[in-house]
Amino acid sequence: MKKITLIFISIGVFAFGQTTVDFEPGGTGASWTWTVDQNSSNPALEIVANPNATGLNTSASVAKFTATGAGEPWALTYTDNVGSFTFSENNSIVKIKVRKDIPTPVGLKFEDTSVPPPYPSRIVEVANTQVNGDWEELTFNFSIAIGETFNRMIIIPDFYDRSIDTTIYFDDISFNSGGSVVSYNLEDIDFETNGFGADWVWTVHQNNTNPALEFVANPNTSGINSTSTVAKFTSLDFGESYALTFTDYIGSFTFDQNNKIVTLMVNKSVISDVGIKFEVAGTGTHVQLVKPNTVTDGSWEQLTFDFSAQIGNTYNRLVIIPDFADRTQNNVSYFDQLSFGSTAGLDDNIFNAVKMFPNPAKDVVQFSINANEQLAIEIFDVLGKSVLRIDNVQNEVNVSELNSGLYFVHIALGDQKATKKLVVN
C-alpha cells in the first residue's frame, strides 16, 4: 500500500529551546511552576535526589509525584512554563524516564489554553514495565499532532484507579525527531507493515492495568482472513466490562452513503458483544453500536455495524470494545480488517457471502463466494469514473492495469448490493 506522507514545518519553537527537562539546579524544570490537580489533597510535586542514580539515569535530581489513594485515576501535574510550541517532525517524539513500583499507564497530555475551554488537547498513554527499582524510558508518539500548537504540558504519572498512595519518580523529558503524518482516508485498517493501524497510537482504557494493544501474527490464516498481522487485545478479569482501546489516528471524517457500513473481523474464544464507538474527542459526543460474535472455534468471522443513522455527523476518534461483558477471567480477542463501505439497506448476508482479498492488491483481487448467486462487480476511481466492470466474476479479477490508488468496488450478488474500498499498489 502506498501511504502519502504529509510534512509540516513548525512555525513555533519551545520557549526553553527544546532543552531536556532535567530538574537539575541551573537546568530546566526545577524552577518551573508545577500545579498538582485531581489528587485529593494535591501534595506538591517534589524535586528530590535520584533514588537510584545508576543504570539508565545517573542524574542527581528528579521529580517525585505522590498519587494518593483518594485521588482520581487521572491525578496529574501540569506546567505552563513549557511555553507555546508547535509539534513538527523535529520534536513529535517525547520521551520520559520513570521509576515506578507497579506497571500502570503514564499519560502525557498537551493543551492549548489560549482559547476558551474545552481546550484543544492531545494525550498519549504508555505503560511502564519495570517495577524492580530501575529507571525506564517511555516513548510517546505525537506525530498525529504535527502542525498543532500547545502551551501546557500535563503528566499523569499513575493513570490507574488505586486504593493506596503510590510514589512515582520521573525525569529527563526530551523532545526528539518523530515520524511523519500519514494521510488516512478510511482505507482498511489491516495492521500490516505497509498498511494502516500498526504504527498508530492505540490507548487502552478501563482495563485494570491497561496492557497495551499488541500486533501479532495471525493465529489462523485459513478461511476468510489470510492476512499476516492482526491486533490482540487482552480483556482482564479485573477490567471493566467495557475495557477498550481507542485511536485518534483515524482523523476527522463524516459518515455518508459510501462509508456508513463498518465491518470488523474478529477471532474470539467466548461469545460476547463487540462494540464499535466513534467519538468527537474531548466533547463527550459519541455513537456506539454493539454486536456479538457467534464463532468460538478459532475461526475468523466478520461483524457488520450499520451507522446509517449517523450520515452527516463527523467524528475523529475510533473506539473498539472487543469483549463487552462482565468476565471472571482474562479473555483474549483478536481483531483485524476494519473496513468502511455501504450497502443498499439490506442485511449482513452479502458481507458474509462475498470475501474480497487481498486488500491492498497489486495484480489480482480474489473473490470467495459463499452463495449460488452470480457475482458482478464494477470498480470506480475516486472521481466516480468506472474503470472496470465484470458481470460474471469467477474467482479473481485482474487489476494490474489500474493505477496505484484508492478505488470503490460495487458488488452485486443477486438482488443484494454493497460497496467496498480497494487499494491498488
> What are the structural domain ranges in the chain?
5-181, 203-338, 349-424
- Does 3.40.50.920 match the CATH number of domain 203-338? no
pLDDT at 182: 65
One-letter identity of residue 144: I
| Residue 296 confidence (pLDDT) above 90 | yes
pLDDT of 278 strictly over 90: yes
Residue type, 121: S
- In this predicted structure, the answer to whether residue 163 has a pLDDT above a threshold of 80 is yes
CA 164/CA 42 separation, integer angstroms: 15
pLDDT confidence of residue 347: 43
Given a cut of 90, is residue 184 above it in pLDDT? no
Tell me, yes or no, if the pTM score tops 0.85: no
Q: How many C-beta atoms lie closer than 10 Å to residue 384's C-beta? A: 7
pLDDT (average), residues 26-42:
97
In this model, does residue 314 exceed pLDDT 80? yes
Residue 14 has pLDDT above 80, yes or no: no
Residue 349 sits at φ, ψ, to 5 deg, of: -55, -40
| Average confidence (pLDDT) over 80-86 | 95
Q: Is the peptide bond before 25 cis (omega within 30 degrees of 0)?
A: no
5 or 386, which is more confident: 386
- pLDDT at position 226 is 81
Q: Given the DSSP bridges, would you call strands 405-413 and 181-182 parallel, antiparallel or unpaired?
A: unpaired
CB-based contact 235:322 (threshold 8 Å)? yes
Mean pLDDT of 97-105: 95
CATH number of 5-181: 2.60.120.260
In this prediction, residues 199-227 reach a mean pLDDT of 91
- State residue 9's pLDDT score: 35
Asked whether the CA dihedral 95, 97, 103, 108 is positive or negative, the reply is: negative
Burial of 54 per CB tally in 10 Å (0-12, 13-18, 19+) = exposed
What's the average model confidence in pLDDT over 141-154? 94
CA dihedral 333, 337, 338, 339 (to 10 degrees): -160
Q: Would you say 8 and 88 are in contact if contact means Cβ atoms under 8 Å apart?
A: yes
Alpha carbon separation from 378 to 193, 263, 403 (Å, rounded): 29, 20, 16
**pLDDT by residue (tens digit) across 206-217?**
999 889 999 999
pLDDT (tens digit per residue) in 376-398: 999 988 777 889 999 999 888 99
The model's confidence at residue 17, banded by pLDDT at 50, 70 and 90, is low
Lowest mean pLDDT among 57-66, 73-82, 345-354: 345-354
Return d(Cα 363, Cα 338) in angstroms, integer: 23
Q: Is the pLDDT of residue 94 over 90?
A: yes
Give the model's confidence band at 371: pLDDT under 50 very low, under 70 low, under 90 confident, else very high. low
DSSP H helices, 60-108, are none
The secondary element (H helix, E strand) that includes residue 420 is: strand 416-424
* φ and ψ at residue 267, rounded to 5 degrees: -135, 110
Range 33-53 average pLDDT: 98
Q: From residue 38, give the alpha-carbon distance in Å to each of 29, 76, 158, 263, 276.
A: 21, 6, 12, 39, 30
CATH topology of domain 349-424: Immunoglobulin-like (2.60.40)
Residue 335 confidence class, pLDDT cut points 50, 70, 90: very high
Do the domains at 203-338 and 349-424 have one common CATH topology?
A: no
Task: Cell numbers for 411, please give them.
Answer: 458488488
Q: What is the pLDDT of residue 346?
A: 41
Amino acid residing at 41: S
